[in-house]
Chain A
Amino acid sequence: MGLTTAQTIQEITKNHLEKENGLLLGQCVTAVGWIGGTVPDCNGIMEIPMTDVAGSAFAVGCALVGRRPIFVMRYQGFLWYNCSSLINYAGRSKQVWGVPCPVFIRCIGMEGNGVGHTASSCLHSIMMHVPGIPVAAPMTPLEYRAVWEHFRTHDDPIFVSEHRRSFVLTDEMSDQRSENSKITLVAISAGRLNALDAVARLQESGIPHDLFHVMWLKPFAASPELLASLSKTKLGVIIDSDFEIAGAAQSFAYELMLRTGAKIHALGLEDRVCGVAPAVENITPSAEKIAAKVSQLLRA
């Protein structure tokens, strides 16, 4: 069996720190589980104080002097404070001053298990909203390597929307297409795992469908196959682990609608705060919810 996504991240990081003069900065990154086993025990790790605004600026400074730091946020909810210098400096530096500021921003999504309203969910959409920072949501080992390779060969900062559920994965995920598909599903982040479960149900119910996995959120380049699918089915759903309103799902739906004329719906987190108890959680749309949405759209 190959490496898991977590082991892949660890291997990439170790190589960067030991052989490429890289740095890794974060809070409590060497504590408890070493961020789900993604952080190696080696030189080049800078534990920073519990400072959610200055911390990312420290990483920006390290990037300006050529260390190509990896900056880790253990929960995406921490992004609200941490994003300031990433957006306002790292994302602007090249365009304003011609000075590259390459920070590899690891921001880890998590949900369920009572993590509640601050630690729960993904927030990659807010980073997509601002210029200068490509955004990716890799889930599999090869996808993670592709994102890292992009970082290594470019001089932009990059926002990597990770999800804890990806850490145990070893297999890649391929797009699924059927000849008589009635609907096109496009899935992002942990939404991809739930979409896979959902399409298994659709299959059982005899609903032909296409499923496309999206890793690059910005720039978003829809594949010819995806465009062809939507042009044929004229109906689509974008599934995301971020909030539905004004987020990646609605943005993609808008762009794809303009390009294909298909009617495309967004399905992400509801516009309400996530509670701690299972009954009041607000997390990635479940397989049941996705399947129900598809059935409803097809009935309509």
Chain B
Amino acid sequence: MTELQTSERRRSPDLGMIPDLPRQFGKEFALELFRRGNFSHHFELKVREAGEKKILSLPFYLSLGSEFTAAAFSMVCKDFMIFAQHRCHSTYLSFGGKPEGLRDELLGLPSGCAGGMAGSNAIHAPEVKMFGHSGLMGEQVPIAVGAAAGSGKPVLTICGDASVEEDYIYPSLGWAATKKLPVLFVCEDNNLSILTPVSVRRKWSPADVAQSLGIPAVEITDDPWLIAHHAQNMVKNQLPGFINIQTVRVLWHAGPGNDGPPEWDRYKLVVEQLQELGLGSELRRIDTDNQRKANDLWDSQLHKQSKK
């Protein structure tokens, strides 16, 4: 269990890093991790393009910046039920949700994963046991706990640094701890509630709260190997567990805009890591392939929509 130093909260691309993890996980893991995160990246770039061209008329929340967080969990949490919230396109895609279903949902088409009823923030993928979200921030956490209590099966639930402040999170953690429910709680902490930073909103750490309730908890940066390492340990050593991950939101809360360069660029750091592992040529091949797939997926639809 990591000793938490939350009184002096620091954000860093290195927080909690453990040396040599990428080598320990191996090349196969690295390439599959990259394949998943990289496809999400290209998919989201196409969504961004559609937003910039005003082809998307519905609100959307892009997961650029946290593509590899989702990819890491998808590598470790096999056969989990998934309860996420907005900014979860990468979760949907990494776990194997149908890209066409997500695209069409964002376009508001009947062929969307929820027939146009859900939109970006409420997507679901029954084929990978990913449940929809109502739009109430953090509500997925107690629902996830209920699903674990009712089924005894493992559940991954992902919220943000703002939704973790919702009043129903604490009793959810408490009940999961009391009943030893198989829930992996994840807080994707981009430090912003729309634009209000954590320091303005609270002085406490969700990982501290989880730990005080008897749940093993860590606060780490968004390095995917580090995430996979902790998630794997928690899954292996018995859930519930709690991971607070410092991530970076590359774009605005909603839509395609940005306020300048990101705090750090995890995508670039992952690419560098793969090159260090000697996987440069495989990386380029995957990147080209994924980019083509994302283009194929979006371009015909974008063309159709722009004609309208």
What is the interface of chain A, defined by CB distance below 8 A to chain B?
A: 23, 46, 48-49, 51, 53-55, 57-67, 69, 84-85, 88-89, 92-93, 95-99
Contact = CB atoms under 8 A, between A and B. Distances in A.
B144 A61 contact: yes
B111 to A, nearest CB: 13
Tell me the dominant secondary structure on chain A's binding face. helix
B109 interface: no
Given A49-B174, A84-B136, A85-B136, 20 more contacts: A49-B171, A49-B175, A54-B145, A54-B168, A57-B139, A57-B145, A57-B168, A60-B142, A61-B145, A63-B146, A65-B153, A66-B150, A66-B151, A67-B150, A84-B139, A88-B135, A88-B139, A89-B143, A95-B117, A97-B131
B259 interface: no
A58 B132 CA distance: 15
B145 to A, nearest CB: 6
A62 B150 contact: yes
A76 B148 CA distance: 27
Contacts of A96: 114, 117-118, 122, 132
Contacts of B135: 88
A57 B131 CA distance: 14
A61 B117 contact: no
B20 interface: no
Contacts of A85: 134, 136, 139, 142-143
A23 to B, nearest CB: 6
B86 interface: no
Given A58-B149, A95-B117, A64 B131 contact: yes
12 contacts: A48-B175, A49-B178, A51-B175, A53-B167, A58-B175, A61-B146, A85-B134, A85-B142, A89-B134, A89-B139, A97-B124, A98-B114
B145 A58 contact: yes
Interface string B32-65: 0000000000000000000000000000000000
Among B118, B139, B149, the most chain A Cβ lie within 10 Å of the Cβ of B149
A55 B147 CA distance: 12
A97 B133 CA distance: 9
B172 interface: yes
B126 interface: yes
The 10 tightest CB contacts between A and B, nearest first, are A61-B146, A62-B150, A57-B142, A51-B171, A58-B146, A61-B147, A54-B168, A54-B142, A65-B151, A97-B132
B168 A59 contact: no
A63 B132 CA distance: 14
B182 to A, nearest CB: 12
A23 B139 CA distance: 21
Nearest to A62: B150
B126 A99 contact: yes
Contacts of A65: 81, 147, 150-151, 153
B219 to A, nearest CB: 23
Interface string B148-187: 1111010000000000000110011011001000000000
B121 to A, nearest CB: 12
Contacts of A63: 146, 150
A84 to B, nearest CB: 7
A104 B230 CA distance: 39
